[in-house]
Structure 1
Amino acid sequence: MAAVIPAGARRPFALSWQTRTIALLVFLYAVYAALQLDVSPARVRAGLDHAGTFLARMFPPNFEKPDTLIKGIVESLEIAVLASVLGIFLALPVGLLGARNLMPAWVSWPARAIVALCRSLHPVIVAILFVKAVGFGALAGILALTVASIGFIGKLFTESIEEISLKQVEAVRATGASFVNVITFGVLPQVFARFVGFATYQFDSNLRNSTMVGIVGAGGVGGTLFSAFQRFDYDFVSAILLTLIAIIMLGEILAGVVRAVLLDNLGFDRILQRRMAAARGLGSSNGGKP
């Protein structure tokens, strides 16, 4: 039997007229924007046809240029690692100074302005600026991705600090601890787990972005990828993309290992045992089928 809703009572999950009006306006603007940008079903169909032809030319991938491929991949890895390390170490003090629950306004607002400035431009735009400043090569890519890392990690680190419980901070202060000890024992333990997650994600992001900044001459495999596109060497493009995907997946596994070591205090033997146990559990749940 259906429930009877009293007269005048509002239906659960019912949308207000303000919400409906906003949704309608957003929909109408989306239609208007599509028309202004010449987005049409005909263009979409033509794009799908071209995409099919392009994908057909990408396979099978061509791994017959290992020296060129490995050189670009190694340079991208070096750019990502250096930019991540620099960005993390610089984002720590900036994020700490930007926390409004720990710092006075005259300290927190300039720090937050630095974070906002680092986040305001896309890494490719920043890479172009650094290419003009320091010339072509990996240095421009490292500097560009360091700026991006400061913006991302600094913002999330600041927000994490502002969400901590101040009771632990006050307890450490009550012992007469110095400011450094208050931060070390009262603040960092509450945000360390999230900070590790931010750092590992930023490394993945820097590895992906190192390809993009390479297209504008900031080092890495991006330059190799762009040259392959210009030569219509699409099977080599496929080889580069597949290699990047494999490295990103490997990086995800390594990030899990780092979290287990830093957060769970596990040794590599325990991590391996966990992985093997999880694999056996997955196999048994599938009835032994692959």
Structure 2
Amino acid sequence: MAELNHTSPRASDPERAHPFRTSWGSRALWAGLVLYLVYAVTTLDLTWARFLVGIDQGGELLGRLFPANFARWELLLSDLIESLQIAIIASVVGIAISLFVGLLAARNLMPNLVSAPMRVFIALCRTFHPVIIAILFVKAVGFGALAGILTLIVASIGFIAKLFAEAIEEISLKQVEAIRATGAGFASIILFGVLPQVFSRFIGFSMYQLDSNLRNSTMVGIVGAGGLGGTLFSAFQRFDYDFVTAILITIIALILVGEALSNTVRRVFQ
């Protein structure tokens, strides 16, 4: 009897013995996923032979990429500065706009009549890839940095405003109600009751968006929106692969500098 009373709970509890229990429904979903993957691979002509050919051609491309050619360093430097300016201007303006849009989109602070349209606006900003938005702005305002700045502002609003609104919806309303009870106005409630609770997260979101804009500023140039991307695309078209390597190294250096800057700002505000 003593041995029966000391039976292991893992053996007697079927849920603990089988932590990943399956049902016929889950098995059907997994089977459907596998069948769809097989169908997708066959319809997209993803063959092992093409993969081997790609490896061979990739080896030839790597041989032509090195050594890097920095002979046109003046062009690289001017494009690097332009990409940096595009990213910083777009980040500052986009983050400032996102601050107000995120506040208006927070459902715990605003009525549905205000928050719903703002959330639709945020969703529209997040709908399209930055390259697609860049093409539209290039057609609207022409080639150059302005199209890139407008593109990254839209991308910043789509990301920062959404996260900022969600952060506001998770705050404690006790501080807000306490400040409201003193007869403070709406601006004072936001300044002293809301922002202190989300400020550190907002800084983190902003730094991540700056990193993203640094990367995207080099990408939107491919369609004529300024920065290193246009020079990179031209070098590929000319088969100037050693100069392509120099551009890629420059982009890597830009991203590493942005990462170091972001880490420094996070440490300061933590």
Preserved contact between residue 79 and residue 228 of structure 2 (Cα < 8 Å): yes
Residue 52 of structure 1 and its aligned partner are, at CA, apart by 1.4
Q: 2-side partners of 1:26 and 1:177: how far apart? A: 56
- Displacement, 1:231? 1.0
Identify the structure with the greater helix proportion.
Answer: 2
1:257 equivalenced with 2:264 (yes/no): yes
Distance 1:7 1:216 in 2: 61
Q: CA offset at residue 18 of structure 1?
A: 2.2
- Corresponding residue for residue 276 of structure 1: none
Say if 1:232 and 1:174 are closer, same or farther in 2 by CA, change over 3 A. same
- Rounded Cα–Cα distance in structure 2 between residues aligned with 1:47 and 1:19: 37
In the TM superposition, what are the counterparts of 1:111-126 in structure 2 within 5 Å? 111-126=118-133
Identity fraction in percent: 62
Gaps of 5+ in 2: 1-6
Partner of 1:66: 73
| Structure 1 unpaired stretches of 5+ | 265-290
Residue 286 of structure 1 corresponds to none
Q: Provide the rounded CA distance (Å) in 2 between the counterparts of 1:114 and 1:23.
A: 36
Question: RMSD of the alignment, in Å?
Answer: 1.7
CA contact (8 A) 2:214 2:258 kept: no
User: Within the alignment, does 1:226 sit opposite 2:226 as a pair?
Assistant: no
Within 2, Cα distance between the matches of 1:46 and 1:193?
Answer: 50
TM-score (structure 1 length as normaliser): 0.87
Contact 1:100 1:162 in 2 (8 A): yes
Q: 1:198 to 1:7 in 2, by over 3 A?
A: closer
Q: Distance in 1 between matches of 2:27 and 2:194?
A: 44
- The two structures have a TM-score, normalised by structure 2, of 0.93
For residue 154 of structure 1, what is the aligned residue in structure 2? 161
Residue in 1 aligned with 2:29?
22
Question: Is residue 186 of structure 2 the alignment partner of residue 179 of structure 1?
Answer: yes
Conserved 8 A contact 1:5-1:11: no
| Structure 2 counterpart of 1:33 | 40
What is the Cα deviation at residue 249 of structure 1? 1.1
Give 1:4 shift: 6.6
| Structure 1 residue aligned with 2:207 | 200
Deviation at 1:102, TM superposition (A): 0.6
State which of 232, 237, 252 in structure 2 corresponds to 1:245: 252
Mapped to 1, the partners of 2:131 and 2:14 lie a distance apart of 56
Q: Deviations over 1:122-145 (max 9, x none)?
A: 111111111111111110111011
Amino acid at match of 2:11: I
Q: Structure 1, residues 139-171: CA drift from partner, whole Å, max 9, x if none?
A: 011101110101010111111111111112112
